[in-house]
Amino acid sequence: MTIIDTIPAERLALLDTATLYHGAHQSGGPDCRHCARELLHEVVTGTHADKTPPGVTAFVDILPGFNDAPGWRDDAHRTAVMRPYLKRFLALDPAPHDRKRVYALVDHAYRQVLPALCDTLNLPDEAAKLRALDLDPALDLDLDPALDRALDLARARALALAFARDPQDLAGAWEQAAREVLDLICSVV
């Protein structure tokens, strides 16, 4: 049984109806403005807080960085992209898979994100070397810095590629990067 199976239906329904807003908010309840992490905390615990609720993947901690990024067109865009991932995050088993998720993100950052930036900068030899890296899944990664670095690289890639392709479509590039990272996290079960 996952944590999602223990949540009352009326609170779980908020994951299908609530709009996600930028920034932190002070109160709870169905009419409250929530960011993604606040909404998850309220759905899981029944109380409003801007922190990761107990019993869920530590990856909930990345949600404020995505929620409050400058790349969203508006609240509706943020909500349409991010809200579907909230239930998926609740269905993730935090242990022992969070370590595998960090490795998957680090591997993705170094063998896909950085090479794509090198390609954009016309550095094909560097891109090839990065793609050929053979990262050891048994690496003893310091989880928090490794995760922060991988997420920073994914965000940097979104911005760099946006300006390289179409400086007017930052929101489209940000959406693509957000979906890519969130899908990767949710794929490790």
pLDDT-derived band at 83, boundaries 50, 70, 90: very high
Is 138 found in the same domain as 170?
yes
Cα–Cα distance list, 73 to 22, 47, 121 (Å): 11, 29, 27
Is 161 found in the same domain as 87?
no
Is 172 found in the same domain as 146?
yes
Is 127 found in the same domain as 172?
yes
pLDDT-derived band at 179, boundaries 50, 70, 90: confident
The tens digit of pLDDT for each residue in 53-67 reads: 998 988 898 899 899
Is 110 found in the same domain as 65?
no
* Structure tokens that stand for 33 in this block: 């403005």
What pTM was computed for the model?
A: 0.79
* CB-CB contact of 67 with 116 (8 Å): no
Is 103 found in the same domain as 81?
no
pLDDT reported for residue 10 = 93
pLDDT-derived band at 34, boundaries 50, 70, 90: very high
Domain boundary among 58, 91, 124: 91
**Residues 51, 174: Cα–Cα separation, whole Å:** 24
What residue type is assigned to position 189 of the chain? V
* CB-CB contact of 77 with 62 (8 Å): no
Is 104 found in the same domain as 133?
yes
Is 141 found in the same domain as 126?
yes
Measured in whole angstroms, the distance separating CA 49 from the mean position of its chain's CA atoms is 19
Is 81 found in the same domain as 135?
no
Full residue range of the structural domain in which residue 45 is found: 3-91
Domain boundary among 39, 63, 91: 91
Domain boundary among 72, 91, 110: 91
Cα angle, residue 96 at apex, residues 79 and 57 outer, rounded to 5°: 20
Q: What is the DSSP letter of 34?
A: B
How many structural domains is the chain composed of? 2
Is 103 found in the same domain as 65?
no
